[in-house]
Amino acid sequence: MDEPRDIRYWLGFTLATERVARARGLSRGAAQKAIDDAIASGELRSSSPGTSSEITGTMIAGADFEQWLNPPRSAGGKQSRILARLRQLFPEGVPDRAERPRMPLIADLLKLDPSLEPLNPKTLQKAISSYNATRKR
């Protein structure tokens, strides 16, 4: 682990297993294995050495567990996918509307990445502005 995390509370292994099974739609055994794997990899800290499912009364560090079960979401969505396609099509920056009309550009982007549909012109313009701003630095 890169930095020590604060242990504010401990979570019982049985409760942790139930929460993982519910949150991820796993069987109890699969949830136990997921927790064991996370302990073995250092993602979760436990109160006992070894694999948790073999040890009665094992406790899991609550802060570790919450971060592992519900990791922070990374920025993404359409904007990141649009930006990737704009970089592909226009390495030097997107030309202005007179040189590259937006409706044909939307059609080209949808051919490259159909998952962008529906692509709102305002969403595209926001991505273009963001992309072009980084190109001028």
Residue-wise pLDDT for 7-60, tens only, equals 678 888 899 999 999 998 989 999 999 999 988 888 888 887 655 455 557 889
Cα separation, 35 vs 11, whole angstroms: 12
Cβ neighbours around 61 below 10 Å, total: 21
**Which residue in this structure is represented by tokens 């051919």?**
111
pTM: predicted TM-score of the whole model, two decimal places:
0.49
Q: Is the pLDDT of residue 131 over 90?
A: no
The total number of residues written for the chain in this structure:
137
Please give the torsion angle defined by the CA atoms of residues 44, 45, 48 and 49, in that order, rounded to the nearest 10 degrees. Answer: 80
Residue-wise pLDDT for 81-127, tens only, equals 888 888 888 888 899 889 989 999 999 888 888 888 888 899 899 88
